[in-house]
Structure 1
Amino acid sequence: MRRIQDVHVLATEPLIAPNLLKSELPVDEGIARTVVEARETIREILAGRDRRMLCIVGPCSIHDPDAAMDYARRLAKLKDATADRLYVIMRVYFEKPRTTVGWKGLINDPHMDDSCDMREGLRIARRLLIEINRIGLAAGTELLDPITPQYIADLVAWAAIGARTTESQTHREMASGLSMPVGFKNTTEGNLQAAINAIQSARHPHSFLGITQDGISAVIRTSGNPDTHVVLRGGRKPNYDAASIEECRRMLASAALEPRMMVDCSHAQTSKDFTKQAAVLRTLIDQVRAGSRAIMGAMLESNIEAGNQPPSSDRTKLKYGVSVTDPCIDWPTTEQCILDAAAALGAAGAIAAASHRA
């Protein structure tokens, strides 16, 4: 008989069940408290009850766990220093969507040698998230593969669905069952309606195929995720200016959704010039100071050192703290951006309070 299945499959390698990895790398009460409190704070910011700005700050992607923890310790101090005006969590991205081909991220290929040792990638990712949460810093990530959340989602306070997957039914269904707030980006072309459609879809119940904590194929039935929102990341042109923010606010209100959004300060907002991220953030802060209630958060791609470098399986060839995917601003620039934003928002609050008293 002619072969009619797995014609292009070279091999299948069993994975550890999610609950076994979790028993190997468990969550303690302190870590759980960090995750739960962060999720609740983000929900309060989304609803407008917490007036702080949510800032998701960190590397474009994680490739070096040691450098990631170095960065996390710096960011934790910055979070504490700005906590009255900002709510800072770390961008901890393990999965990278590729337009054609390229390194798919730490979970898929932790050794950056095309060996795709996903079993080790999942362990490294979970271990790193545990250590980041242990120091009291919450984590946000993009969820790309629908199986991955079963292994790490209990350690994630905020999740993104990327520009290339916002229109995917699979990702909308997955988001409907996630336990944390989820941001949907507009498409790479700048289509905002697709993100709004995704929010509406993810807020409804769904039934779809997935795996259980025991690693068994199952029908997953969800109640819908009410904590979903838009992330503006630009498209054919930037969309962080006041007119674009107002257009997004109007479209959300017309769809009977909370007119609140996050802005990604990188990607198409900067025409791929990573050094412009600081200017984008300043523009957003100026809009908030002018009275905008629509902007609830911002994202920055930041690392210890500026720029980027090609991935390499030879770690000795890699510069410490430099991105292997999109270029990032360096730590001094990041620190100044966040401190300036907090100071400006503090001044805006003082002006508003004085005006109210008058």
Structure 2
Amino acid sequence: MNSSVSALPLSTLSPANEALTLRLPSSLQLKQQLPLTNALSQQVAAHRQAVRAILNGEDSRLLVIVGPCSIHDPESALEYAGNLAQLAAEVSDEMLLVMRAYVEKPRTTVGWKGLAYDPHLDGSDDMAGGLTLSRELMREMLLMGLPVATELLQPMAAGYFDDLLSWVAIGARTTESQIHREMASGLGMPVGFKNGTDGGVGVASDAMRSAAHPHRHFGVDSQGHPAIIQTPGNADTHLVLRGGHGGPNYDRASVAKVHGDLTRLKIPARIMVDCSHANSGKDPLRQPAVFNDVLEQRLQGDRSLIGMMIESHLFEGCQPLSSTLKYGVSITDGCLGWAGTQALLRQAAERLRVQRSIPQPV
């Protein structure tokens, strides 16, 4: 892959107590260097429509966002994507599998911020190279036939990837942000807002209502100039339950309460469950138990549960960032391994097929 786009020369040499400025290529420049073919653009449009159809109840399949907590190694990410593409075709009658390609990572204090920020994993923060590499990887995943998802953390970075994505997450720490709500209102794909870290869904409910409306806001155009952005509003949003400080919120009672809260606010009751984070007690090997509990709720008739999210890599667990990394193991949150992921999704698809084969009462 070609990662030749680099930051332009230092434009401002500041005193020690001021920030230094390095100019990045515009999103338009990067898109021109790494364009989508007409066929890939049509594929992305079809995948977006497939996700919308699931949200709207027009497609009865389960939406599953699955992949590494974060991508740090292109080789292992593409190996994982190749495996997922094969499985996606196998279970496509019952599930729409979407590749989780997270290249930005929110940090509570400090730490590695993701491939888009520090692709060399050494603190050099080659963001121009990171943006290029991230776009290259997502494009390769599209060429495998996969829909691609990511979390959009930095609104200024969104323009470098937005034409590649079929689904976007707004994280628990940014769902309350007006800037992210405005951004979501102008995105051309479905958006999942996570509940706040306290476990409550009020903030996410407000976010969905805000994103559904048009906005005018400060932003940056495709050529990198400050601009007034006018957005049309995005009706294709939904809630992502990820648990909170008080524990999980995927159980039947929690889901029923959330369903009631959304209905009362006249927000479509479309709920995805993140099987990781507080819902799994931060134990990646508990994700299958969470997944199967939610699947059982859906099999028993709760159609508000439109999908699940799984953190999964080639091998289970996680490892600290170091000079000697194990291949295919996350360097952020712990993940379920591929073998366990594949078995879980195959078993779920079979359970869904069995239910579909049972005659429904007239």
TM > 0.5 fold call: yes
2:156 maps to which residue? Answer: 147
Q: Which amino acid aligns with 2:145?
A: G
- Residue deviations 1:23-67 (CA, integer Å, cap 9, x gap): 110101222122111100000000011010100000000001111
Distance 2:360 2:264 in 1: 32
1:306 aligns with 2:316: yes
1:108 aligns with 2:113: no
1:212 aligns with 2:217: no
Q: Which consecutive residues of structure 1, in runs of 5 or more, have no partner in the other structure?
A: none
Cα distance, 1:6 vs structure 2: 7.9
Cα distance, 1:115 vs structure 2: 1.1
2:8 maps to which residue? Answer: none
Q: Which amino acid aligns with 1:318?
A: L
2:329 maps to which residue? Answer: 322
1:335 aligns with 2:345: no
1:349 maps to which residue? Answer: 356
Secondary structure (helix, strand or coil) at the match of 1:231 reads strand
Distance 1:148 1:8 in 2: 26
Cα distance, 1:10 vs structure 2: 3.4
1:18 maps to which residue? Answer: 27
TM-score norm. by structure 1 comes to 0.95
Cα distance, 1:189 vs structure 2: 1.0
Whether the aligned pair in 2 keeps the contact of 1:203 and 1:225 (CA below 8 Å) is: yes
Distance 1:244 1:74 in 2: 34
TM-score norm. by structure 2 comes to 0.94
- Residue deviations 1:200-255 (CA, integer Å, cap 9, x gap): 00111111111111111111111111101100000121011111111111111111
Secondary structure (helix, strand or coil) at the match of 2:63 reads strand
Secondary structure (helix, strand or coil) at the match of 2:217 reads strand
Secondary structure (helix, strand or coil) at the match of 2:361 reads helix
List aligned pairs for 1:7-86, cutoff 5 A: 8-86=17-95
Cα distance, 1:106 vs structure 2: 0.5
Whether the aligned pair in 2 keeps the contact of 1:233 and 1:266 (CA below 8 Å) is: yes
Q: CA RMSD in A?
A: 1.2
Whether the aligned pair in 2 keeps the contact of 1:53 and 1:87 (CA below 8 Å) is: yes
Distance 1:141 1:106 in 2: 12
Secondary structure (helix, strand or coil) at the match of 1:100 reads coil
Cα distance, 1:356 vs structure 2: 2.9
1:170 aligns with 2:179: yes
1:252 maps to which residue? Answer: 262
1:262 maps to which residue? Answer: 272
Q: Which amino acid aligns with 1:215?
A: G
Secondary structure (helix, strand or coil) at the match of 1:26 reads coil
Q: Which amino acid aligns with 1:240?
A: Y
Distance 2:350 2:287 in 1: 18
1:161 aligns with 2:170: yes
Distance 2:20 2:299 in 1: 56
Q: Which amino acid aligns with 2:32?
A: S
Q: Which consecutive residues of structure 2, in runs of 5 or more, have no partner in the other structure?
A: 1-13
Secondary structure (helix, strand or coil) at the match of 1:132 reads helix
Secondary structure (helix, strand or coil) at the match of 2:122 reads coil
Moved more, 322-331 or 255-264: 255-264
Whether the aligned pair in 2 keeps the contact of 1:172 and 1:201 (CA below 8 Å) is: yes
Distance 2:174 2:60 in 1: 30
Distance 2:300 2:80 in 1: 32
2:290 maps to which residue? Answer: 280
Distance 1:256 1:213 in 2: 35
Cα distance, 1:9 vs structure 2: 2.9
1:241 aligns with 2:251: yes
Cα distance, 1:191 vs structure 2: 1.6
Whether the aligned pair in 2 keeps the contact of 1:61 and 1:93 (CA below 8 Å) is: yes
Q: Which amino acid aligns with 1:91?
A: R
Q: Which amino acid aligns with 2:274?
A: D
Secondary structure (helix, strand or coil) at the match of 1:284 reads helix
The 1:218/1:267 distance shift into structure 2, 3 A limit, reads same
Q: Which amino acid aligns with 2:56?
A: A
Whether the aligned pair in 2 keeps the contact of 1:39 and 1:158 (CA below 8 Å) is: yes
Cα distance, 1:7 vs structure 2: 7.4
Cα distance, 1:310 vs structure 2: 1.1
1:292 aligns with 2:286: no
- Residue deviations 1:107-164 (CA, integer Å, cap 9, x gap): 0111111111100000000000110001110100000001111111110110000001
Secondary structure (helix, strand or coil) at the match of 1:55 reads strand
The 1:8/1:176 distance shift into structure 2, 3 A limit, reads farther
> Percent identity among equivalent residues?
47
Q: Which amino acid aligns with 2:352?
A: L
Distance 2:191 2:284 in 1: 24
Secondary structure (helix, strand or coil) at the match of 1:147 reads helix
> Please, which of 189, 211, 216 is the counterpart of residue 198 of structure 2?
189
